Structure 1
Amino acid sequence: MGHKRHFLQHAVTNNRTDPNSSFYPAIFFSVLSSNSNKPTLNPFVAPLGSSVVLPCYVDELLLMEGLEVEWRRTDSGTLVHLYQDGESRPESQQQDYHNRAYFFTDEIQHGNFSLRLDNLRAEDEGQYTCRVYSQQDSGSSRSISASVGEDVTLNCSVNSHITPEHIEEVSWKKTDEDENILVLLYQNNGTLSDSSDERYRDRVEFFTSEIFKGNFSLRLKRVRTDDKGVYMCQVFAGGLSANATVVLGQLGESTDK
């Protein structure tokens, strides 16, 4: 399957002559949620020269791996702002929006991709679209290599509004042809190390301080030749779920003397 897409469209029109406006001159914003069965408009007014927030939220558990968020002008296709590879990319935005368009970086992990546009200009009128691309349904996996005897990190991060207390379960399993081997389990706000298969016990751990940021990556210590294979991370939270697959292959010999 391809990338999963979500989008919200924002219609922005110039309203400099509206007698009901609290400000003059001003820009009139109306927000249309296009992923609703009955789209509703929520108009509000902001004065020229001020700031405005265009809302964009995703009510779904998303994998950080491969996550991309675009804000564009739908009338011209102009890139207003971009979030890619775990960070904002202001160098990619169109020149007119430099130092004027921002994400709320601390809120991205909660599924908030709203855009703040500063120093409003008359030419800002138009339509704006927020698109969120996620690879969670694409079936893609990430391959990594390691040397025997070293430690390696298997990545699994989610991006969502789900709070830590709503995390129901996170599991890492090695998916062999005939069986699923439980590598490590997180439940009830704690790591259940005793539930790990004996082949992995005392060799695997979560990055505990990162769990509350949605990072469920696994550290596999003292890699062995029989560790080679496919590993799946599954996250269940608030009735939603996401999964990531990591292939550990190309095991080389340790360079340690």
Structure 2
Amino acid sequence: MRFFKLFFVLLLYGLSLLVLPPVSSSEVVWSISARVGDNVTLPCEAPGVVDFEDVAVKWTRPDLGPDQFVVFYRDGRPDPDNQHPSYQDRVDLVHSQLMGGDLSVVLKNVTINDSGRFECQLIQKMENQKKWSESKPISTIVLKVSDPDPIEARVGDNVTLPCNTSDVVNFEDPTVKWTRPDLGLGQYIYLYRDGRPDPENQHPSYEDRVDLVHSQLMGGDLSVVLKNVTINDSGTFECHLIQTMMFGKRRKRSRSESELLSTIVLKVSDPGSTGNRTETGDEGGHEDRQRHGLTGSVCVVTVLSVGLFLSKKAKLSKSF
């Protein structure tokens, strides 16, 4: 009887191995650190030989909404349906044709909100060709994004705020916009379009204080110089590039703001504050200590002299 029970258990175990899909243990976990504004590669490699004709690549985050994803690549192109708005136009495959099984993506212009867990999945079409078979993550990325190192300056300095683009840009009619998140709605620090600065809606505190480093945007350099900085200039600056798009035979123009190109944290200190005051105070204290020390020494010498004089006078009195 025991033999039949053991045989039955082993038979069920063998059938489960045939019916249930094997659990993959090849998941790779990466930990990546980046600064705000960086472009970050999230690595993922397909295990073994994969036929990519009937395969999709899906990058997700567990904290996104239901059925939303970072990027979904299928049928040879990205699928924008249900892509989370914060990742639109910010995620590209490293190899658009998934060469060599490389499923890695580049996440552009990362922000603090990008910190978190990313998962890469390889999904295959079912036999009916209508549904996709979900798989376990084959790569997990833990991304930690921190604020960029601040640019430090003194009140009255002229400061260069760097911003560059390596992309191919049509500079015949570009628009460069520098902003601060804490400015009023529709206001900016500097706007360059139609070949010249546009002062409309420029914040009053930045009028006549901001210039492009290269007036012709040479080499994709969108940096600006902020002149005569003040304490109020401390904060976060953002650089955007807006390009003109042409449609139809007639020259119809439609401007669409590009993704953030650069984020700068500026820290301005007052040269006449804290540090110098402390130093001056220390010097005054040092002088006071010297003065008190000298006074104390004079008192000690005086007391000793008087004591010695009185001692000698007492001895002379006894001798007579």
Report the TM-score, using the length of structure 1 for normalisation: 0.45
Higher share in strand: 1
TM-score, normalization by structure 2: 0.37
